[in-house]
């Protein structure tokens, strides 16, 4: 039997990611499609979640039907991190031999659960036999020092005892108020109930929907996605959930995403896949420009599909799987924006003609993060002067005299000046749509980038003005 390679160092990881991207280059266009899964039947109504009194986002989408993914069971419970009645604890139990990889916030004040997962997945043999994931809402356990780290360790230890595994094989994630130490006793007290529920007979869709609600904070709807792929004739399934509504400007790797597949894939390959796709999905959305201390995306592969094991980065048998994973990740990322705190508009910002991909991305994020642009969109005002402002302040290469701006199909500016065909009535009518496309050509090269965002309304202030109360 061949020896399994150990975790590569930072430079090796970068080379692996580059090799993987190069190997999949012929399919790059497929990876960037934003098609939602075909199955869209709403789940049975799960227990209430999120913050009381919040209206469901007008941009909400139904929770999809989730067929069973072999090798995983999910259960939820109320641990009591919130004053009101709701599930706030979610536990995933995985089959033996489940692989795992993750990408995490690069925030300088990472949470105790982020530190825990990074340590376990980064260790020798890390991510090769992960047996559980424990997620709580209502307490971020961030900026909590040694006390928070000890609470995380105790949580993993207690779950490991019940599941018959090592504590290093238990992943953790938290979301909620920063600066409060996790009361791990609340979690431990619910573990008997969780174990009973894991052996229950809830449908897969109901399990995933309850989990989606259990991790909500100021979210107004649970976010799920599902896709299928093929590996050497075997059908493999990919399912995931995410949470996030505010403090959303992921730098990965209060955003969490958990994705499970029944494919059999080595942790090194999972890591490369996440590194490839996170840049154009979770790292290409923004609600308010603020990065959370707890951003986490974990990908698990149970191997229950029977498909052959993939142990090499760049294996071309991953073509279909990689495209399906990208589809799930982008779908979840879009749902984060659709549930942006107080959002009424889903906005796609595309920058063309940039000097480099990095420059295009910086320009697009500057537009998408601008409060002035976002409030203009909320007011249904095609104020393209604010777009010009957001472009110019980046100090990226821009040809002012060739700059062009479109809102949907309508030209606002061309060759660095107002468009001679500009029609205020048509533009105003377009801005009333719930989905808005802004395209800017900076005429400095051939690179492009797309970032998704939402408008900025009074609702954002109302939600965040009393977040802790």
Q: What is the DSSP letter of 293?
A: S
Q: How far apart are CA 338 and CA 117, in angstroms?
A: 28
Query: What is the rounded end-to-end Cα distance, in angstroms, of the chain?
Result: 57
Q: How far apart are CA 72 and CA 59, in angstroms?
A: 30
Q: How far apart are CA 70 and CA 188, in angstroms?
A: 26
Residue of 198, 206, 244 lying closest to 91 (CA atoms): 198
Place of tokens 């894991």: 198
147 near 113, Cβ under 8 Å? no
Q: How far apart are CA 325 and CA 319, in angstroms?
A: 10
Q: Kindly give the interhelix angle for 357-369 and 384-392, rounded to the nearest 10 degrees.
A: 130
Place of tokens 């986490």: 296
456 near 358, Cβ under 8 Å? no
Q: How far apart are CA 243 and CA 304, in angstroms?
A: 26
442 near 401, Cβ under 8 Å? no
Q: How far apart are CA 447 and CA 141, in angstroms?
A: 40
- Count the residues in the chain: 469
Q: How far apart are CA 66 and CA 178, in angstroms?
A: 32
The residues carrying an active-site annotation are: 254
Per-residue exposure over 101-133, b if at least 16 CB sit within 10 Å of its own CB, e if not: bbbbbebeebbbbbbbbbebbeeeebbbbbbbb
> For 256-397, where are the alpha helices, taking DSSP H only?
267-278, 319-338, 357-369, 371-378, 384-392
Provide the Cα torsion 304, 306, 311, 317; round to 10°.
-120
Separation in Å, CA 274 to CA 21, 97, 103? 11, 20, 7
Strand segments, DSSP code E, in 106-190 are: 132-139, 170-177
């Amino acid at each position: 039997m061949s020896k399994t390679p150990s975790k590569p160092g930072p430079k090796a990881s970068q080379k692996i990611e580059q090799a993987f991207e190069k190997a999949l280059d012929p399919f790059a266009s497929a990876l960037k499609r934003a098609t939602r899964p075909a199955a869209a039947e709403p789940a049975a109504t799960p227990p209430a979640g999120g913050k009381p009194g919040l209206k469901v986002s007008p941009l909400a989408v139904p929770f999809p039907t989730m067929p069973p993914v072999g090798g995983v069971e999910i259960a939820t419970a109320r641990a009591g991190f919130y004053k009101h009645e709701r599930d706030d604890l979610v536990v995933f139990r995985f089959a033996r031999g489940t692989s795992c990889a993750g990408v995490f916030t690069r925030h300088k004040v990472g949470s105790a659960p982020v530190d825990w997962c990074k340590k376990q997945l980064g260790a020798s043999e890390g991510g090769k036999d992960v047996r559980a994931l424990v997620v709580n809402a209502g307490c971020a356990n961030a900026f909590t020092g040694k006390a928070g780290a000890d609470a995380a360790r105790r949580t993993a230890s207690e779950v490991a005892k019940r599941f018959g595994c090592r504590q290093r094989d238990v992943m953790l994630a938290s979301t909620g108020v920063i600066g409060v130490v996790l009361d791990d006793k609340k979690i431990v007290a619910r573990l008997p109930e969780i174990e009973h529920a894991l052996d229950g007979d809830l449908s897969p869709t109901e399990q995933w929907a309850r989990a989606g609600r259990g991790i909500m904070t100021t979210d107004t709807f649970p976010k799920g996605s599902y896709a299928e792929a093929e590996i050497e004739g075997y059908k493999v399934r990919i399912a995931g959930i995410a949470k996030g509504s505010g403090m959303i400007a992921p730098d990965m790797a209060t955003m969490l995403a958990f994705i499970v597949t029944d494919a059999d894939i080595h942790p090194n390959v999972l890591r490369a896949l996440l590194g490839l796709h996170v840049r154009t999905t979770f790292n290409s959305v923004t609600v308010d420009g603020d990065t959370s201390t707890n951003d986490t995306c974990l990908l698990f592969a149970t191997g229950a599909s029977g498909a052959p094991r993939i142990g090499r980065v760049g294996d071309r048998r991953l073509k279909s799987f990689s495209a399906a994973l990208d589809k799930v990740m982008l779908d979840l990322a879009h749902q984060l924006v659709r549930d942006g705190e107080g959002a009424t508009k889903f906005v796609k910002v595309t920058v063309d003609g940039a000097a480099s991909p990095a420059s295009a991305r910086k320009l697009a994020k500057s537009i998408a993060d601008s409060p002035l642009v976002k409030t203009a969109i909320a007011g249904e005002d095609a104020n393209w002067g604010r777009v010009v402002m957001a472009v110019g302040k980046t100090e990226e290469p821009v040809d002012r005299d060739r700059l062009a701006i479109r809102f949907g199909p309508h030209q606002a500016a061309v060759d660095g000046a107002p468009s001679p065909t500009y029609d205020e009535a048509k533009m105003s009518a377009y801005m009333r749509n719930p989905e808005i496309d802004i395209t800017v050509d900076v005429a400095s090269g051939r690179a492009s980038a797309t970032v998704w965002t939402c408008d900025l309304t009074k609702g954002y202030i109302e939600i965040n003005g009393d977040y802790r109360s």
